[in-house]
């Protein structure tokens, strides 16, 4: 797709976990980093594009349901009835209302707005956990990847990288034999998921920003045999695997009642979990389970804003850090679309629980909480996407953002504290330019098509 090398110069850049000065960044013709050279001389800087501010690597958003961007702010009123209570399960029923209305055209509009916002929020790749496979009646589209292609077009239009994860969804619960009526759009099989992957790969061949993996919605949504079949095919193809797990206490209780084991415990004992696996949420995990995840080489995807919004609970980051576990960050239902907000909430949830400060700095053995959180989330990008993404490193994809030091949150902050203030001084997004695979992402103005899609969904 690319043919010419490019050179950039930054007065400061985040290299190998610290700020480096006068950094010359060279992008190879394939969109990957060719070289990263701190302390570049004036002669070396000649011919390089001078960047507008300090440079950070782009971060992977490892868990997204793009269509749920249409719900942000619309589920924050209590359920009707004197004794009604609101929890994850009542929110899920409201989510199904949106899921059963959205057309491919509306999904493209919603995803386009979302992806532009994610770029502005410092993300350069998004993993879309995609289960809206069928039409509104539940029947397959003439083109089985009709809805998937809506996400692909939105990604290509905005310039963000996309890891598309067609999702296995076969039943409504552990004891069910099929799906509920309001889940009919989600229906898939191991065979259909792998066909979707192959079709997506064929349609996007030659685009370095887009790839595919697979997802299993949850243990309750597929039989052990189906999970084994899909993940075995994914392993043979070298694909990343994602799965929702242990998000809710009811899910844990149901799994115990049905299998005699907790969800993560069952998965570790019965699935071929390895370094390609990404366990989404894992909110209700025991220390032994977290050690088991680390022992398998798998990663966890933490979604702090959504987990807070849905009342899921607080992930046990200290226990997972003690086990040496790998993790990434995701924005899931998109109540926020900025990684500084996600990392801030992750740290603050730990502080509220433990009544201490700078938890991440201590448990991740860093001087700075922001640096510890950012480095861990950055490293989680490779297992989440299955691509070489994880920093300003030769051979990795050349994704980066510039930091606007004139933004209110950073105004007057000493340069060495820029990352700390970016995470812990709010509000305000403080990014300038965004580059994906060495090209500047110039997201078009999509507000009007998004507004039209929202009117069609909620006002008609």
Tens of pLDDT along 448-460?
Answer: 999 999 999 998 6
The string of pLDDT tens digits covering residues 142-179 is 999 999 999 999 999 999 999 999 999 999 999 999 99
Task: Please give the model's pTM, rounded to 2 decimal places.
Answer: 0.97
DSSP assignment of 119-186: HHTTEEEEEEEE---S-TTSPPPSSTTHHHHHHHHHHHHHT-EEEEEEEE---SSTT-SS--GGGGGG
Q: Are residues 248 and 263 in the same domain?
A: yes
Do residues 215 and 241 touch, judged by C-beta distance below 8 A?
A: yes
Q: Are residues 282 and 380 in the same domain?
A: yes
Identify which of 171, 85, 75, 186 has the alpha carbon closest to the alpha carbon of residue 129. Answer: 186
Q: Are residues 36 and 138 in the same domain?
A: no
Q: Are residues 37 and 147 in the same domain?
A: no
Res 253 pLDDT > 80: yes
Q: Are residues 285 and 329 in the same domain?
A: yes
Number of domains in the chain: 2
Assess if residue 374 is contained within a domain.
Answer: yes
Q: Is the dihedral of CA 142, 146, 148, 153 positive or negative?
A: positive
Would you place residue 87 in the very low, low, confident or very high pLDDT band (cuts 50, 70, 90)?
Answer: confident
| 58: its two tokens | 């782009």
Do residues 49 and 25 touch, judged by C-beta distance below 8 A?
A: no
Would you place residue 86 in the very low, low, confident or very high pLDDT band (cuts 50, 70, 90)?
Answer: confident
DSSP assignment of 437-448: TTEE------HH
Question: CA 415, CA 69: separation in Å to the nearest integer?
Answer: 34
Q: What is the CATH number of the domain that holds 17?
A: 2.30.40.10
The string of pLDDT tens digits covering residues 185-235 is 999 999 999 999 999 999 999 898 999 999 999 999 999 999 999 999 999
Enclosing domain of residue 332: 59-385
Helices 249-259 and 263-270, axial angle in degrees (round to 10): 50
DSSP assignment of 282-306: --S--HHHHHHHHHHT-EEEE-HHH
Res 8 pLDDT > 80: yes
Assess if residue 446 is contained within a domain.
Answer: no
Identify which of 380, 413, 378 has the alpha carbon closest to the alpha carbon of residue 399. Answer: 378
**pLDDT at position 151, please?**
98
Residues 6+ apart with CB under 8 A from 99: 67, 132, 182, 185, 186
Q: Are residues 207 and 269 in the same domain?
A: yes
Of the candidates 332, 399, 420, 439, the residue annotated as catalytic is: 332
Assess if residue 459 is contained within a domain.
Answer: no
Q: Are residues 146 and 12 in the same domain?
A: no
Q: Are residues 279 and 424 in the same domain?
A: no
Q: What is the CATH number of the domain that holds 273?
A: 3.20.20.140
Question: CA 275, CA 240: separation in Å to the nearest integer?
Answer: 9
Assess if residue 1 is contained within a domain.
Answer: no
Q: Are residues 303 and 431 in the same domain?
A: no
**pLDDT at position 1, please?**
45
Assess if residue 298 is contained within a domain.
Answer: yes
The string of pLDDT tens digits covering residues 264-316 is 999 999 999 999 999 999 999 999 999 999 999 999 999 999 999 999 999 99
Active site residue 332: yes
Of the candidates 242, 281, 334, 396, the residue annotated as catalytic is: 281
Assess if residue 399 is contained within a domain.
Answer: yes
Assess if residue 453 is contained within a domain.
Answer: no
Active site residue 253: no
Q: Are residues 31 and 106 in the same domain?
A: no
| 277: its two tokens | 């696996």
Q: For 3-7, 75-79, 98-102, which range has the lowest pLDDT when averaged over its residues?
A: 3-7
Q: Are residues 98 and 242 in the same domain?
A: yes
Q: Are residues 402 and 422 in the same domain?
A: yes
Please report, rounded to a whole number, the percentage of residues in the chain having pLDDT higher than 70: 98
Assess if residue 35 is contained within a domain.
Answer: yes
417, containing H or E segment: none
């Amino acid at each position: 797709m690319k043919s010419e090398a490019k050179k950039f110069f930054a007065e400061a850049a985040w290299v190998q976990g610290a700020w480096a000065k006068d950094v010359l960044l060279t992008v190879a013709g394939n969109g990957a980093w060719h070289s990263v050279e701190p302390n570049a001389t004036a002669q070396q800087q000649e011919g390089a594009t001078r960047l507008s501010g300090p440079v950070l690597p782009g971060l992977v958003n490892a868990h997204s349901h793009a269509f749920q961007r249409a719900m942000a702010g619309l589920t924050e009123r209590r359920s009707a009835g004197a004794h009604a209570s609101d929890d994850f399960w009542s929110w899920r029923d409201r989510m199904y209302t949106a899921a059963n209305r959205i057309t491919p055209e509306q999904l493209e509009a919603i995803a386009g707005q979302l992806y532009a916002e994610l770029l502005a929020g410092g993300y350069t790749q998004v993993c879309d956990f995609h289960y809206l496979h069928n039409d509104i009646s539940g029947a397959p589209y003439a083109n089985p990847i009709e809805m998937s292609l809506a996400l692909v077009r939105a990604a290509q239009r905005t310039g963000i990288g996309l890891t598309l994860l067609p999702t296995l969804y076969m039943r409504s619960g552990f004891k069910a034999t099929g799906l509920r009526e309001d889940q009919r759009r989600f229906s898939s099989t191991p065979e259909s998921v792998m066909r979707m992957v192959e079709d997506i790969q064929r349609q996007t061949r030659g685009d370095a920003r887009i790839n595919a993996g697979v997802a299993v919605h949850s243990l309750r949504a597929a039989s052990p045999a189906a999970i084994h079949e899909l993940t075995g095919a994914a392993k043979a193809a070298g694909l990343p695997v994602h799965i929702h797990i242990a998000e809710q206490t009811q899910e844990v209780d149901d799994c115990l009642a049905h299998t005699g084991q907790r969800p993560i415990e069952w998965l570790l004992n019965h699935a071929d979990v390895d370094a390609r696996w990404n366990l989404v949420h894992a909110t209700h995990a025991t220390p032994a389970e977290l050690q088991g995840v680390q022992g398998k080489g798998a990663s966890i995807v933490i979604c702090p804003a959504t987990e807070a919004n849905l009342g899921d609970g607080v992930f046990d980051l200290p226990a997972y850090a003690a086990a040496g576990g790998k993790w990434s960050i995701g924005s899931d239902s998109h109540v926020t679309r900025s990684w500084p907000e996600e990392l801030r909430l992750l740290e603050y949830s730990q502080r509220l629980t433990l009544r201490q400060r700078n938890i991440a700095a201590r448990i991740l053995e860093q001087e700075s909480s922001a640096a510890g959180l950012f480095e861990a989330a950055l490293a989680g990008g490779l297992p989440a996407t299955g691509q070489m993404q994880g920093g300003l490193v030769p051979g990795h994809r050349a994704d980066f953002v510039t930091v606007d030091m004139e933004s209110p949150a950073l105004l007057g902050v000493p340069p060495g504290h820029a990352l700390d203030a970016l995470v812990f001084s709010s509000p305000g997004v403080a990014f300038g330019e965004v580059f994906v695979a060495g090209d500047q992402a110039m997201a078009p103005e999509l507000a009007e098509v998004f507004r039209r899609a929202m009117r069609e969904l909620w006002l008609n």
